[in-house]
Amino acid sequence: MTEELYSYLFHYNHHTGLWSAIPREKHDEYWNDAKSKGILRSKSIGTLITLINKGDDFIKKIKK
């Protein structure tokens, strides 16, 4: 595990079948609006972990 993972919370939504990787600073925003921007989503938690481990610069590139 890398240090980057400590900056995220993970949540599985049984209704959508998706995992969400929520940056800690967006925690409240996520619970008020689960579709808020800046949240990574995938059917696989492994995919989210791989993306987070690649670093913030990589994540910013794929969010565009």
Extract the tokens encoding 6. 């400590």
Q: What is the tally of structural domains in the chain? A: 1
Q: For position 1, what pLDDT does the model report?
A: 55
Q: Range of 17's domain?
A: 3-62
- Give the chain's radius of gyration (CA, Å): 11
Q: What's the whole-model pTM score?
A: 0.83
Q: For position 2, what pLDDT does the model report?
A: 74
Task: Give 12-62 pLDDT, tens digit per residue.
Answer: 999 999 999 999 999 999 999 978 888 999 999 999 999 999 887 777 777
Residues in CB range of 55: below 8 A, 6 or more apart: 4
